[in-house]
Structure 1
Amino acid sequence: METGPSPRGQHHERGIDEGAAAAGAPPRIPPQPSVPPAPTAPPASGPPLADWLRTPRPPAEPGIWRCGHQPLPPEDPDRTPTRQLLGGAVVAFLIGWLVWSLLWNGYLGDYWLWPLYVLTPDSWGGSMLLVVATYTYYGLVVAGLAAVFGRLGHWGELWRRASAGARRTRTPPHRTAPPVPEPHEDPAAWPGLRALGPRAAAAADRLSAEALSGAMSDVDHARLTRAVQEARTHPGGPEALSEEVLRYGSAARTHPSGTRDLPRRAARHDLALRQVRIGTAAVDPRNPQAYRGAGLALDPDVLGTSALVVGPAGCGKTSRVVRPAVESLCLQALAGQAAVVAVTGSGGSPLPEEAFDVVVRPGRPDSAHDLDLYGGTDDPDEAAGMLAEALVGDLAAGLPGGDSRRAATTLAQLIGPFRAAHGRFPAVPELRELLDGSTEALTALRDALRSAPAAGDVSQLRELDAYARQLGRPGDPGSLLADRVALLDRPAFADFFVPDGAAADRRSRASGARRAPRPFSLRALEHPLRVRIDLPERGHAEASRILARLVLAQFTDCVLAREDRSLFAGLVLDDADGTVTPRSLRGLQRLRSGHAGVLLTLRALDDVPETLRAPLLGAVGCRMVCAGVTPWDAERFAEVWGTEWVQTRDVTNRQLVSDEPLTRLLHGIRRLATGRHVTAESVTVRTVQRQRWSASDLANEVRAGHAVLSFTTVRGHRTPPVLARLGE
């Protein structure tokens, strides 16, 4: 893909390279070519950029697709259902027709004709004037009957509803261009940039011309909008930005990779609001009025509370939720607004490789990048905490203390002295040998520690001695840690998980002439990176779960340690089986304050320990249950969504018994005609609490391709569950 350069883009490139290299990240991105590209139209298969920018985006409830959204009027609780209205209109018409038939056939006498006799003189008898007057009078009587029974049957309201439906059916769907606003309000005219000075006004004119001509994409607009916001807060920022825009146009401030768009888009995006559409809310009485028929979307405001998607294989979790979310975060990364890490099984990536800056494939000989086992940190205690969570976090309930802190202490007693002795953390084979309690390995480490420059510090020797004393004692997690590390000490991973500072020639000799993979650390998420990690699920299922827990632990620690949190950091775990632990739940709850979020998918809640299922549903703000879930999972979601106050109508029928002969005769005739006793209805209206969605409804009434979901924003605004069709 052709790319366009800019001095600012090259500066960002160096920033990513230097910051990532310090954390063991990928090599420097190659320089950009000198010819800027002609980008594709901004929204795929959508209107031109200017019309797209001018499309109204009214305020709406959380999770509603706001681009072109037309809010529905408030629901009228007294509105008569159309079916009931139609029935009443038919009954009123039949009664009116019966009255007219009785009048016309003379069953009611000729008293109703007296106005005609009074108003017509006797001299008109037998003349045409009497005929005209008679039929005119008949018309007036029919009109009067129609007015009376039409009002009783609400014919006018029924006619208005039928006319509105006919207009919607007959009017062909078409897209009209929104009106052009004033220049100071037109987003296509760049009023924010224009207000920064005369030079900036000239730059705004160039961007406006490119937006109207189609040379600018929605990614360019989002990226440069962010650049304008940053320029306002930096001395000399407006001047520098104006010069770059005048020189490079919409190719200014390009992403360090030089990419200005994704190869292909599978979802509808609105980068003006950073939304991606995932479905449409059903027109269902159980849905709130504001959501009925509205599009549903994800954005950082709701993903910042983290999200959980539960559904069986084939229900659309990956294709209709995960892929749009990853695609949206990748586009935001190209616009300098986000950083994304997508963790998937081998062969199940939601986006192609060219959509990412870094692709890590542990266990694959063609992988260009490695995963830093210690998270790019220099603190042994921090590294031990993340590694212990990855190794034994799923077994925390069975460990002393009920979590992985004891295992983290054990690891810190080894990797701390090792780093003090060798200036680096141990590789996987070295760590396994130490955890096995090898006398030779412990003696060698003790000797190296005594001869190290920091030999005067006896604290590391004490740590090592403390580890040696607890070997073989009850409750010692060392053997369990050694067994788990052995899963990573396999021939397929020989070139991986090599810490920074380890002998590079050893990796080179093990892989022949092939270049050794560069270590990548999640510390680099301070930059707008797009990262994909393919787990080796085939043949290394348990190792894949360890790596998934490692990525989740490093993500929660690294994003909270960022100095600059202006970028939204998103982690997508497609199939989070075995990754939910007590420590990860505490990390999920802290991500909201770090401008970050995690999207988790599960085939069933059975993939989570029973004691953690309720805390997991409470820790995430956005919950989605797809069609086909089990009644046990549905019960959990029904419980977390709670109840609401509703009005119920209880109708009681009682048989009418009369002692009056005439009334008994009429009742008998009615019984012969209908086959039922004559009854009287008694209606009782009560306000009670009922579940918004019962477990039975979630398990049995959600059709294929549908899901029930709820949203929570980072500001605490919650929505009730909404039934939606995914992918529309």
Structure 2
Amino acid sequence: MDSDGTQDARRAQANPVPRPAGPPEPPAVPPRPSVPPRPDGSAFLTWLRTPRPEAAPGVWRFGYRPRPDEEPEVIPGRQLISGALIAFLVGWLIWSLLQNGYLGTWWWIPFDLIVPDSWRGGDSRIGQVGNVVVYQGYQVLVALAIMVAAGRLGRWGEVWRRFVAPRFRRPRPRQTAPAPADDPAAWNQLRAAGAVEAAERLARDARAGLMRDVDHARIARAWQGVRSGRHSLASFTSAVLKDGAAACLHPSGERDLPARLARHDLVTGQVRLGTTADDARNPYAYRGTGLALGPDLLGTSLLAVGPAGSGKTGTVVRPLAESLCLQALAGRAAVVVVGAAGAMLGPADAYDVVVRIGNPESVHDLDLYGGTTDPDEVAAILAEALVGDLADPHPGSDSRRSTTVLAQLLGPFRAVHGRFPSVPELRGLLDGAPGPMGELRTALQQAGQDSLLRELDARERQTGRPGDVSGVLADRVALLDRPAFAGFFDTSGQSRPFSLKALDHPVRVRIDLPERGHADASRMLARLVLAQFTASVAVREDRSLFACLILDDATGVVTPEAVRGIQRLRSAHAGAVLTLRTLDDVPRPLRGPLLGATGCRVALSGLTPWDGQDFAEVWGKEWTEARDVTDRQIIAETPAGKAVHMLRRVITGKAPTARAVTVRQVERERWSASELAHAVPPGHAVLSLTNVKGEHAPPLLVDLRD
């Protein structure tokens, strides 16, 4: 959609370069004022009124025309034309034989039954005329019968539809204006509820070109709030009458993104990723249709695997992030995008909060404790971030001991200071240094916290014993206690930390991780954000807002607890998007559970056979019909037979054969590991989809460049 001028003004230069001094120029004659073009909303109305029929999961519904489930039998053009010509010649031959009497006179029996006896051989003029008329009419009737039979045998109708009719067909104008009762631009649901004036104002703005797709989606979302009782009808009506299409704005005041790279349809919430290839391995109903994703599919989470340069960020992550940012502006989603600094995840103006960890120019900070005040919850999340990748993916791991160690320190510290410790303070407590531990004990004794003193005593007794994980935790915290992160993770209230507790609101967040020189710290922070996200969305009061976390690189992030958290996202109206260069970045025991926890799986081109084997196993097998065809050439022994065979060779281009066909049902892999590794063209991907209702699409070969 075109901008309304606010974004253009933002790009204007504040201090233009001054021109050199010179003699004053004569005043130019001002141009005659031209009449500004009248704004027109026809493009928006056409977009809004385009049909969006129900379709299978993943189908781009904008202007979609359903196709049959099975592919119709298509006769080759050469065979079709030759068959039609032969049928015509056979019909002409039969008619000639009938006319010349070579086939007898039996076909005149119906004529004898029709003509009265008084007309035969009579001299009356009426009898002669009637006899001629009936005679000619009977001949025409017989000719038509022969023509119809020849046309059916020669498929003349198919020849007309495929080769003749397209040359005379004129493009019919698309019927974009539905009946008034179904016109989405008329806002009939508002009229039915009594908000007639608000509906009229919105309809006028739409016709005048003042409404965009984001405006329509945002106001429709606000109307849903009125119907659910979250907002009053009076406040909604007054806002619409005052601001029109600009009513119910996002807190940022933005009505669109600075730029769009993908095709979006905010009526259905879909973003188009590509086109399903016209390939025999794809179901016929999907071939040639657009492939799109929306919250109904992202609610089951998505995993994309492909090597560097296969298009994970540009063709999958960037369009999804853009779509969710648009839906956040419409008040329907909250999105958190996590990636390396410098990744192509959209401009900073497309987000409300941009956290650049390790960059001193960052306006916002990241809350290390996720805005939670419960020490036990914080200890579990922090343990997952610090040592989740070191834990054994089987029961009896060190995660519980790490959670216990952190809880023994975080609880007493918060009780004394009213906040959680900073990174240097937490590192000192985990090291068991006498100074920090002694100060904490003294403060607890002065406050009379006897129960928390027992927690501290237990921690001191366990320090240094075999199996104590405090040293490992201290080493991991030391990765964040670096000069590059000195101004981050502040707990004193001097910074502007972002907390994932804000996912109750339609917020757009981008977190840049400092992968260069701090790879281990970046992976640890990614695990922290994922753990905080899964914990925060589970306790939201308003789950009508779709929440999504996008991890541009999930290397080192997948842990047993992360897999369990992803499985719980569907019930919380949330989802996660993870990308990996290879499944080898995931521990072997977790690859199957990870593929099972995500409903949408994407295998991009360039996959290794080992990764392809994992995808082939999770996609399973299907029963297919295998045909074994055996052709045996027929040898003609008579001259007539040889002539017939020669004619058949001219028509079909093949020698006459006797074909034996054996049909049997076999079970084969939908996509084998070899096909995924070697048969996926560049710029393509094979993906399977599952929506929150349980409907699924089989693995589809998709061209991500279209």
TM range (shorter): 0.7 to 0.9
Name which of 162, 185, 201 aligns with 1:188.
185
Q: Does 1:615 align with 2:593?
A: yes
Task: Give the residue type in structure 2 aligned to 1:181.
Answer: A
Pick one of 573, 580, 589 that aligns with 2:558: 580
Quick one: distance in 2 between partners of 1:334 and 1:143?
Answer: 67
> Which moves more between the two structures, 471-480 or 597-606?
471-480
Aligned partner of 1:178 in structure 2 is 176
The separation in 2 between residues aligned to 1:219 and 1:465, in whole angstroms, is 58
Q: 1:50 to 1:93 in 2, by over 3 A?
A: closer
Name the CA distance, whole Å, in 2 between partners of 1:591 and 1:146: 66
Is 1:491 aligned to 2:483, yes or no? yes
The Cα shift of 1:709 comes to 1.2
C-alpha distance in 2 between matches for 1:175 and 1:268: 23
Task: Give the secondary-structure state (helix, strand or coil) at the position aligned to 1:707.
Answer: strand
> Is the Cα–Cα contact under 8 Å of residues 370 and 496 in structure 1 kept in the other structure?
yes
Tell me what 1:465 maps to: 457
Do residues 237 (structure 1) and 232 (structure 2) align? yes
Residue 329 of structure 1 and its aligned partner are, at CA, apart by 0.8
CA deviation after TM superposition for structure 1 residue 617, in Å: 0.6
Provide the C-alpha distance between the structure 2 equivalents of 1:229 and 1:332, rounded to a whole number of angstroms.
15
User: What is the deviation of 1:247?
Assistant: 1.4
Residues 342 and 571 of structure 1 are in contact (CA less than 8 Å); yes or no, is this contact kept in structure 2? yes
Indicate the larger mover: 373-382 or 245-254: 245-254
* In 1, Cα distance between equivalents of 2:95 and 2:487: 101
- Residue 549 (structure 1) aligned to one of 516, 527, 539: 527
Please state whether the residue corresponding to 2:602 is helix, strand or coil: strand
Q: Using a 3 Å threshold, how does the CA distance of structure 1 residues 166 and 318 change in structure 2: closer, same or farther?
A: farther
Matching residue's letter, 1:227: A
Report the CA distance shift for 1:217/1:91 in structure 2 as closer, same or farther (over 3 A): closer
Cα distance, 1:235–1:586 mapped onto 2, change above 3 Å: closer
Aligned partner of 1:80 in structure 2 is 73
- Aligned partners of 1:192 and 1:228 also within 8 Å: no
In the aligned structure 1, how far is the partner of 2:149 from the partner of 2:178? 50
Question: Counterpart of 1:269 in 2: which secondary structure?
Answer: strand
Residue 162 (structure 1) aligns with: 163
Q: Secondary structure at the match of 1:396?
A: coil
**Structure 2: any 5+ residue segments left out of the alignment?**
7-36, 109-139
C-alpha separation in 1, matches of 2:630 and 2:578: 49
CA 1:464–1:680: 2 relative to 1, 3 Å: same
Give the aligned residue type for 1:568: F
Alpha-carbon distance change, 163 to 689 in structure 1, aligned in 2, over 3 angstroms: farther
Match for residue 393 of structure 1 among 375, 388, 395: 388
Alignment partners' CA distance in 2, 1:604 and 1:216: 44
**Deviation of 1:141 (Å):** 13
Using a 3 Å threshold, how does the CA distance of structure 1 residues 465 and 64 change in structure 2: closer, same or farther? same
Match of 1:649 in 2: 627
Select the residue among 637, 655, 660 that pairs with 1:682: 660
Alignment of 1:278-357 (within 5 A): 278-357=273-352
Are the structure 2 counterparts of residues 102 and 159 from structure 1 closer, same or farther at C-alpha, using a change threshold of 3 Å? closer
**Structure 1 Cα separation of the partners of residues 637 and 418 of structure 2:** 109
Rounded to whole Å, the distance in 2 between the matches of 1:208 and 1:357 is: 30
156-165 or 559-568, which moves further after superposition? 156-165
Q: CA deviation at 1:283?
A: 2.0
Q: Distance in 2 between matches of 1:218 and 1:478?
A: 54
How far does residue 544 in structure 1 lie from its aligned partner after superposition?
0.6
Does residue 260 of the first structure (1) align with residue 252 of the second (2)? no
Q: State the Cα RMSD in Å.
A: 3.6
CA drift of 1:93 comes to 4.8
1:358 is aligned to 2:359:
no
Partner of 1:533: 511
Taking structure 1 as the reference length, the TM-score comes to 0.80
CA separation of 1:403 and 1:678: change in aligned 2, threshold 3 A: farther
Secondary structure of the structure 1 residue equivalent to 2:497: strand
- 1:649 alignment partner, SS class: strand
Shift of 1:614: 1.0
CA deviations over 1:693-721 (Å, ceiling 9, x no partner)? 22222221111111111111111111111
**269-278 or 226-235: which moved more?**
226-235
What is the distance in 1 between the residues matched to 2:605 and 2:164? 37
Q: Distance in 2 between matches of 1:635 and 1:171?
A: 50
Change (3 A) 1:346 1:86: same
Give deviations 1:483-522, integer Å, cap 9, x for gaps. 11111110000010112x46x4xxxxxxxxxxxx411100
**SS class of match (1:495):** coil
**2:52 matches 1:57:** yes
The one-letter amino acid of 1:359's match is: V
Q: Aligned partners of 2:379 and 2:297: how far apart in 1?
A: 32
Distance 1:269 1:558, change over 3 A: same
| 2:694 is the counterpart of 1:726 | no
Q: How much has 1:152 moved relative to structure 2?
A: 4.5
- State how far apart, in whole Å, the 2-side matches of 1:180 and 1:656 are: 61
Greater CA deviation, 478-487 or 401-410? 401-410
Using the TM superposition, give the Cα deviation of residue 216 of structure 1 relative to its aligned residue in structure 2, in angstroms.
1.0
TM-fit CA distance, 1:398: 7.6
Question: 1:119-171 CA deviation, whole Å, 9 max, x = no partner?
Answer: xxxxxxxxxxxxxxxxxxxx99999998777654544434433346657xx86
CA contact (8 A) 2:621 2:670 kept: yes
Aligned residues: 635
C-alpha distance in 2 between matches for 1:705 and 1:296: 14
| Structure-2 separation of matches of 1:335 and 1:644 | 41
1:476 maps onto 2:468 in alignment: yes
Q: Distance in 1 between matches of 2:311 and 2:554?
A: 16
Distance 1:240 1:670, change over 3 A: closer
Q: 1:589 to 1:41 in 2, by over 3 A?
A: farther
Instruction: Tell me the TM-score normalized by structure 2.
Output: 0.82
Q: Can you list the C-alpha shifts for 1:297-325, whole angstroms capped at 9, x where unaligned?
A: 11111111101111122222211211111
Determine if contact 1:341/1:530 at 8 Å carries over to the other structure.
Answer: yes
- CA distance in 2 between partners of 1:41 and 1:406 (Å): 66
CA shift, 1:344, in A, is 1.1
> SS in structure 2 opposite 1:51?
helix
Amino acid at match of 1:229: Q
Rounded Cα–Cα distance in structure 1 between residues aligned with 2:68 and 2:475: 62
Q: Deviations over 1:360-381 (max 9, x none)?
A: 0110000011101111101111
* Farther-moved stretch of structure 1 (66-75 vs 302-311): 66-75
Return 413-422 or 231-240, whichever deviates more: 231-240
Of the three residues 577, 580, 583, the one matched with 1:605 is 583
Offset of 1:111 from its aligned partner? Answer: 8.7
Q: Tell me, what secondary structure is at the counterpart of 2:589?
A: helix
Q: Distance in 1 between matches of 2:201 and 2:55?
A: 33
* Farther off after superposition, 647-656 or 301-310: 647-656
User: Does the Cα contact within 8 Å between 1:41 and 1:216 map onto a contact in 2?
Assistant: no
- Matched residues in 2 for 1:2 and 1:651: separation? 65
| Partner in structure 1 of residue 198 of structure 2 | 203
| 2:376 alignment partner, one of 378, 381, 402 | 381
